[in-house]
Amino acid sequence: MRPALALVCCTLVLGLAAAHPPPRAGTRDLVRLQGHTGAVTPPSTATPLTLVALGVERPFAASDVRTFGFADVPPVEPPPGTRFVLQGPRDLLARYAAAGPEQTVTILAEHRPGSSDLFVLTLDLCPSR
């Protein structure tokens, strides 16, 4: 009688597990932006963006934009004129806010499609001050 009860329980558990697909993780992309901040007139080869850091909106001329997706859907490059709000550690955002137009800024950030937020993972300034 016990083996039959165990078999029924296993069948029920397996049936319930098969009936519900595993929860889908939210889609996200990694975005790499490289360019110059504060450029009023970006070069013709740059993608003009607006980046907001610490509540201050600044133009950004992105000479290189790369998007790396983790979903089955191919990643979409941000269109010119897109406005992103940078989120992350305050010291990292302060480094971006202090960047001069002569410095090349490289940002690696996480982006969730449909959102205007970029979660900054790392930021590099060249030349560093």
| Torsion angle defined by CA atoms of residues 54, 88, 91 and 93, in that order, rounded to the nearest 10 degrees | -40
User: What pLDDT was estimated at residue 42?
Assistant: 61
Average pLDDT of the chain, as a whole number: 82
Domain count, the chain: 1
> Is 8 inside any structural domain?
no
**6 within a domain of the structure (yes/no):** no
Residue 56 lies in a domain: yes
Tell me what pLDDT residue 18 has: 55
pTM: 0.73
Residue range of the domain that includes 81: 25-126
Identify whether 10 is part of a domain.
no
User: Three-state SS for 93?
Assistant: helix
- 16-68 pLDDT, tens digit per residue, is 555 555 555 557 889 999 999 976 566 678 889 999 999 999 999 999 999 88
Helical H runs in the chain? 2-19, 90-97
Residue 119 lies in a domain: yes
Q: In this structure, is residue 3 part of a structural domain? A: no
**Domain membership flag for residue 85:** yes
